[in-house]
Structure 1
Amino acid sequence: MRIFQNKLELIKRYGVIVVIALFCAILMWIGQQSQIAVFSNKGEPRALSQGSEDQPFVALTFNISWGNSKVHDIIKVLEAHEAKATFFLSGEWAERHPDIVKEIHDGKHEIAMMGYSYNSYMDLEPQEIKQDIQKAREAFEKLSFEDVDWFRAPHGQFNGEVLKVVEEENLEAIQWSVNPRDWENPGTNQIIDAILEETDKGDIVLMHASDSVKQTDKALEVVLPGLKQKGLEFSTITELVNGSKAKITQVE
């Protein structure tokens, strides 16, 4: 009888372990499927445009394709306000400015790509797009960035065909939900108002750090504390995706 009871207790103990392991496996599977669903649905190309409105995260993103002066001012403002961001760099620019790429990375910001030569993919054939992306990937790998996963199409121009190639290259396409059009230099106050009025939980904000922008760094001095006052937390694109579900843009 005692032997039978011992066996029964042993079975119960292992049964609990199996149940716990199964439960953990299910949770991990759900997490993986949630992240996959962010970007694709039945093979249709998609692009991330916004994170979850249930989380206080906001992702600041900066495009750079030329110049080497304004980016330093922007990095300094981000550092002063302890704000992290994701920088989308063209491979050609990164190749020419490895020291600045390192400065961005050392500032705890995220490195992402915009292809190599920053020519509109809408004017290229699929094979040419693939070659440009691969050339960009080689440039980043030479700079020791071998896991660049996030991609933004040059000039923000894409269609389903472009996104299909991006997907084939194992990259995830990123768009935005807030665009203050800072590259037009509309005025510091106009940039500030556009961002503070439109930005809320889960938003991806598009800005630039090329030398064409003359007012972005000054605007950030007001924007960053302003967003904090709204209860928002700055995150990289990776954190935005991993910390929440996200909305997607369907591309026909």
Structure 2
Amino acid sequence: MISIRRFVARVTLAATLFGTSLGLTAPATYAMQSPAKSPPPAAIYKVDTPNKVLALTFDISWGEKAPGPILDILQAKHVTKATFFLSGPWVLHHQEIAKRIKAMGFEIGSHGHMHKNFSEHTDSWVREQVQKSEQAIKDVLGIKTTLIRTPNGDFNKHTIQVLNQMGYTVIQWHTDSLDWMNPGVEQIKQRVLTRAVPGDIILMHASDTCKQTHLALPAIIDGLRAKGFQFATVSELIAGAKVHSNVQ
């Protein structure tokens, strides 16, 4: 089940992206810094690029029914670039699905361990959660994760500082498909197709609580391609680019 806190957090983040005054630091665009300077702690929402390229991302923290159909669709549609954010317990309990994601060549990031808001806990708790997820993914897939999408997309400036110190880049999204609300297949499709922009990071889910993602996905892929978009992993998208970021 999606918590009310998660809904409020995402509405707040969405409002921030569109400039609503909610007491948060305004979104900022920054270029790659010289060696003498370091970029401020930030979560990446999109990149600034003239090219019609974007990243499809999928969070998984629960269940085994949703991932298979989504992977089948990506394969059938010849989508070879996407990024999956996996929670540690899910990887341990569904190793074959996780291995399929890796075998298909998709990028894998961390979605933490317990699905709880990082900003509500201590630094040591956050580190422990990330380390547990990191170890689980490494044990099963042999991958050292460097990207993270925090549970519920929740963070604050201090959380990002801790994650950056651990070597992680925090990834948010510019377009939320709202598939986690199960609003209807057409609504999911139209939301993505009308909001997607060059350099976008699109949020979707492959957890079993999201029951309409696989039904909307084929039309989303076709519609984005019809608009001239190509797909990239998050790492490919942000490499050497200007990024659109925000810190709470």
Equivalent of 1:59 in 52, 55, 61: 55
Structure 2 stretches lacking a partner, 5+ long: 1-29
Equivalent of 1:181 in 174, 178, 182: 178
Distance apart, 1:147 and its partner CA: 2.5
What is the correspondence of 1:1-252 to structure 2 with a 5 Å cutoff?
Answer: 37=33, 42=38, 44-83=40-79, 84-242=81-239, 244-252=240-248
Distance 1:51 1:82 in 2: 24
Distance 1:215 1:183 in 2: 9
Q: Which has the larger radius of gyration?
A: 1
Distance 1:110 1:43 in 2: 24
* Count, aligned residues: 216
TM-score norm. by structure 1 comes to 0.81
Residues 179 and 212 in structure 2, CA contact (< 8 A), matched pair in contact too: yes
Distance apart, 1:146 and its partner CA: 3.2
Distance 1:115 1:248 in 2: 23
Distance apart, 1:35 and its partner CA: 8.1
**Alpha carbons of structure 1 residues 35 and 90: separation in structure 2 relative to 1, 3 Å:** farther
Match of 2:4 in 1: none
Distance 2:52 2:60 in 1: 26
SS of the residue 2:42 aligns to: strand
Distance apart, 1:184 and its partner CA: 0.7
Distance 1:75 1:52 in 2: 28
| Cα-Cα RMSD | 1.8
C-alpha distance after superposition, 1:142-173 (max 9, x if no partner) = 12433311111110010001101100110100
User: What is the identity, as a one-letter code, of the residue corresponding to 1:66?
Assistant: W
Distance 2:193 2:216 in 1: 10
Structure that is richer in helix per residue: 1
SS of the residue 2:41 aligns to: strand
Structure 1 stretches lacking a partner, 5+ long: 1-33
TM-score norm. by structure 2 comes to 0.82
Sequence identity (%): 33
